[in-house]
Structures are given as structure tokens and as C-alpha cells.
Chains A and B, each alone.
Chain A
Amino acid sequence: MALISFMINGQPWKGQVEAHETLLDLIRDKLGLTGTKKGCDSGECGACTVILNGLSVNSCIVPALEVEGKEVLTIEGLSRGEVLHPIQEAFISEGAVQCGFCTPGMIMSTKALLDSNPHPSKQEIRQALAGNLCRCTGYGRIVAAVEKAAKMGGDDLAGNDSREISDKV
């Protein structure tokens, strides 16, 4: 048991964490952020993908204790209140979601991709999503959604955030 503090979706969190606890269990069970999914629990499926200090990781194999002092972004941190992130909009409008279990992970991997490569090729998109498995849609619509998100300016690089920033929501 140890006390850790870290930033989650821009908010500070402080609390007790066990040595055997994973980041995935911490964010789902202690923080109640259940958007991040547990699929394989062993690094294979990508359902648990979150962004840790700017890099996408499988939260099911990151010890919770390791995030002390770091920044974690989960699917819940993408929208601004009611205003969805362009990547989320693109997944909806392209119909890239069926059961939705893989979707939060797909979207976080997409965000990590677009923030480092705002205009990826199809091949680059496929490679970037190789660690995210979908059992429903087939990958065609997902790749199309990522292409659309890129066109919409779905990266969050400086000055290229297409969402309206509103203090009211």
C-alpha cells in the first residue's frame, strides 16, 4: 500500500494503491472511469489503451504505482463537456462502432497516432491500430473513421483543435 498522486484527465487524484494493482483496475474500480475496458487483461487486445505522459499504453499491464506524478488521459477526458472530440464524431459518423467494446481503446490509439502524425496513410493507420482488436465491425470502417478524423483536424496539436472551447459546459 502506498499513497500516490497523479493527474487524470486534467484533474489531480490522490489515494492509496496496492503494489499488485494495475492502472486499469485503479481507473475503473477506484476512480469509477469505466470507459476504459478490460478485454484480455494481458496486453493483447488494446481495449484498455490509455495515454500515459503522451504515449499510448495497455493500462492492464502498467502497475498503478508507476503513475505517481504522471499524467493519464482516458476516453472520458476527450470530450469537452457535451462537445465530442473530432475522433469520436468521426467514429460515430462512419459507423465504426458495433458493440463498442473496442472503441475507447481504438479512439485512444487514434489520438496517439494523430498527435504524432496528423496525416497518416492507410498503411500507417493500420500499423498504429495493430494492437487494438475488434471482434465486430471488421477494420474497414474503423480505418475510414481515422482518415475522416484526420481530415477534420482530429489531432490536438497546437492551434488545431476544431472543438469550440466553452467554459459553460
Chain B
Amino acid sequence: MTGTLKYETPHSLAELWPLLVSDRELTGFLAGGTDLIVKYKRKQLNLTRFIDLKNIESLKGIWLDENKNLHIGSLTTLTELHTHPLIQKHAPLLAAAARKMASVQIRNRATIGGNLCNAAPSADLAPPLLVLDAVVKLESDQGARELSIKSLFTGPGQTALKIGEVMTEVMVPVSEPSDKVTYLKQGLRQAMDIAMAGVAVKLNMSGNLCQEAAIALGAVAPTPIRVKAAEEWLRGQRINEQSIAKAAELAKIAANPISDVRTTADYRSELVSALVTKAIQECMTQV
């Protein structure tokens, strides 16, 4: 890394806000740094200052409220996500997705807030959080607001965060043991790979009849997306080969993939349909 760079370490949000009166556009919030530092080193960012968020205790911790919402501090690392008993119990989908990401070394640093704010179309936590109907809490010196995760992503690398706004928390309604959930990710290798496509599915069944379905896709559109058409189709259906095939087809139509270094748009389309099929089948094997 080169250049003149300032580095600040506020110990609370109260200490953070005054730092943001100037140079807000040239400031990078530093969480785990696994996206930020890599981009900065590649000179993809024009920044004069890092503000390290990691000393702000209120951005840490995982707890359950009386309304059965799991509160996950934005600084929670991927390692914490896949090992924390509350996440394993109440949001197993999230724990499983975190485990499929990157390497041990990266998971020890990378945070949930960083994954969402970096807003890569391939961000692995996005599809699971989309099907879980997560809500993110954003704060600035103007106060706090809550935003459905569906409204968070506005484009590749783009979010609804205003300049100077910090993500403080991710709130996830607890999963019931009867919820059938899965996240499938296809990369070139099993480990350490950015997804060519990712699919999260959540089903609520009554017998063989689907009561509710949520399906989200990653890496196959400018942002991670929910597939409403496929969800509506599945609602009230018996889950069998035909209904799964139709859902997979609808998901494929909803995807809008590009070709890039990892693979082609056509292959991504095929992946969506294959992964949606497999994900629903996997859900159905869960008791």
C-alpha cells in the first residue's frame, strides 16, 4: 500500500460522528478489510482515510430479543457466524453459508457487515439473508433507520447506505425447526472461491403441500435477488418433479447473468436452474 493515508480508531459511535464532518467521500470504513484493503492495494479506491470500526463495541455481539429476532452486530465475523450457538440454533442457514466462504484466515477477519456493504452480486451471505427476511439497521449522526435487506442492494457494489451511514446490526427472524432451508453455492473449487451462482431456498411445508416458499439467487444479476415468480408458483403446490422443474425454469427466467472471468452467462443460467432444483430437493430431505 502506498500514499498518504489517515487512520482513525473511534471507540464508540459518539466518537465516530464528529470524524465524519469532513472528507466523508474519501473515507473508507474498515471492518475485516478483506474487501477494502485488497481493493485499496489494487488502487481501485480513492481514499485518504480509513476509519477502523473494530473498536466500537456496540457493533459487536449476537443476542435474541423477546420477539424472536436474532440481532447480529455488523462486526460479527464469518467464523463467529458459523460457530456461535445462537446462530447455529436459530439461523442454521446463515451458519452453513458462512462456512462455505473463503478460507479460515479470511473467515477470521471478514464480517457480515462488510459482506453486505461491499455488495458484490456474489456476496454469499446475501441469498440466505434474503430468504430469511433479514432487516439491517443503519445509523448516522441523523439517527437510526431500519431497512429490509431486499431494499439494501441497488447495483453491483452499490447499496442504499447514505454517505456517512454505518450498518450497525443485522436482524434475522429466528428459523423454526420445521423450516426447510438450504444454501447451495457453485464455484470452481470447493473452497476459497467466489460463487458463479448461489441459491438459497426456504420452504414451509404442511405435509407435501408447500405453504410458503422463498428463493434467492446470488451472482446471476446486478444484485442478489428474490425470485417472486417461482415463490408464488410453489405456494400451495405439491412438491414433486414437475413443480420443482417449473420453479427452476421461473428462476432461470428471473436471472439476468453476465459473462465474466469466472464463467459465461449461459452457464450461469443453467446453474440457476440446476441449483434451484437441487436446493428444493435437499430441503425436502430435511425432516
* Complex Cα spacing A63 to B36, Å: 11
Q: Which of B105-129 contact A (CB under 8 A)?
A: 105-106, 108-109
B204 at the interface (CB under 8 A from A): no
A66 within 8 A of partner (CB): yes
Residue A42, interface by CB 8 Å: yes
Return the contact of A62 from the options B9, B33, B103 (Cβ within 8 A).
Answer: B33
On chain B, the residues within 8 Å of A161 by CB distance are none
User: Does B38 sit within 8 A of A, measured CB to CB?
Assistant: yes
Chain A residues touching B, range = 20 to 34
Contact of B103 among A20, A21, A46 (CB under 8 A): A46
Verify if B163 is at the interface (C-beta below 8 Å from A).
Answer: no
B52 A46 Cβ-Cβ under 8 A: no
Interchain nearest-CB distance for A41 vs B (Å): 7
Partner of A61, one of B4, B9, B34: B34
Q: Is A83 part of the binding interface, using a Cβ–Cβ cutoff of 8 Å?
A: no
| Complex: A124 Cα to B108 Cα, angstroms | 16
Known: A41-B41, A42-B38. A61 touches B104 (CB 8 A): no
From A41, A42, A63, contact of B52 by CB (8 A): A63
The answer to whether A42 and B42 touch across the interface, beta carbons within 8 angstroms, is yes
Residues of B within 8 A of A2 (CB): 7
- How distant is B38 from chain A, measured CB to nearest CB, in Å? 5
The interface residues of chain A lying within 8 Å CB-to-CB of B30 are 63
CB of A88 within 8 Å of the partner chain: no
Contact with B along A122-148 (1 / 0, CB 8 A): 000001101110000000000000000
Do B104 and A131 have beta carbons less than 8 Å apart? yes
Q: Which of B2, B4, B7, B191 is A65 in contact with, Cβ under 8 Å?
A: B7
CB neighbours (8 Å) of A57 from chain B are: 105, 108-109
Q: Could you tell me the distance in whole angstroms from the C-beta of B107 to the nearest C-beta in chain A?
A: 9
- Chain A residues with Cβ below 8 Å from B34 are 43, 61
In the complex, the chain B residue whose C-beta lies closest to that of A127 is B191
B185 at the interface (CB under 8 A from A): no
B104 touches A130 (CB 8 A): yes
B162 contacts the other chain (Cβ, under 8 Å)? no
The yes or no answer to B192 lying at the interface (CB within 8 A) is yes
CB of A58 closer than 8 Å to a CB of B: yes
* B109 x A19 contact (CB < 8 A): no
Within residues 1 to 28 of chain B, which ones have a CB less than 8 A from any CB in chain A? 1-7, 9
Q: Tell me if B79 and A55 are in contact (CB < 8 A).
A: yes
Across the two chains, which residue of chain B brings its CB closest to A126? Answer: B191
Chain A binding surface SS class: mixed
Q: Which of B3, B52, B191 contacts A66 (CB 8 A)?
A: B52
* A61–B38 touching, CB < 8 Å: yes
Task: Indicate whether B180 reaches chain A with its CB closer than 8 angstroms.
Answer: no
* Bound CA–CA A97/B3 (angstroms): 37
Q: Return the contact of A19 from the options B7, B42, B106 (Cβ within 8 A).
A: B7
Q: Find out whether the CB atom of A55 lies under 8 angstroms from the CB atom of B108.
A: yes
The reply on B161 being an interface residue by CB < 8 A is no
CB <8 Å contact, A20 and B191: no
| Residues in chain B near residue A9, CB distance under 8 A | none
Q: Across the interface, which residues of A come within 8 angstroms of B5, CB to CB?
A: 18-20
Tell me if B3 and A20 are in contact (CB < 8 A): yes
Cβ-defined partner of B6 (8 Å) among A19, A44, A113, A130: A19
What mask results when residues 19 to 55 of chain B are scored 1 for a CB within 8 Å of chain A, else 0? 0000000000010011001100110000000101010
Complex formed: what's the CA distance from A131 to B2 in Å?
Answer: 26
Question: A131 near B102 (CB under 8 angstroms)?
Answer: yes
Smallest CB gap from A25: residue in B? B1
Residue of A nearest to B79 (CB): A55
Shortest Cβ distance from residue B154 to the other chain A in the assembled complex, whole angstroms: 26
- As a 0/1 sequence over residues 173 to 198 of chain B, the CB contacts with chain A under 8 angstroms (1 = contact) are 00000000000000000111000000
5 example contacts (A-B, Cβ-Cβ < 8 A) are as follows: A46-B105, A61-B33, A63-B30, A63-B52, A128-B104
Query: Given contacts A43-B34, A130-B192, A131-B104, could you give 8 more A-B pairs where the C-beta distance is less than 8 Å?
Result: A19-B50, A20-B1, A41-B41, A42-B42, A56-B105, A62-B109, A66-B52, A130-B103
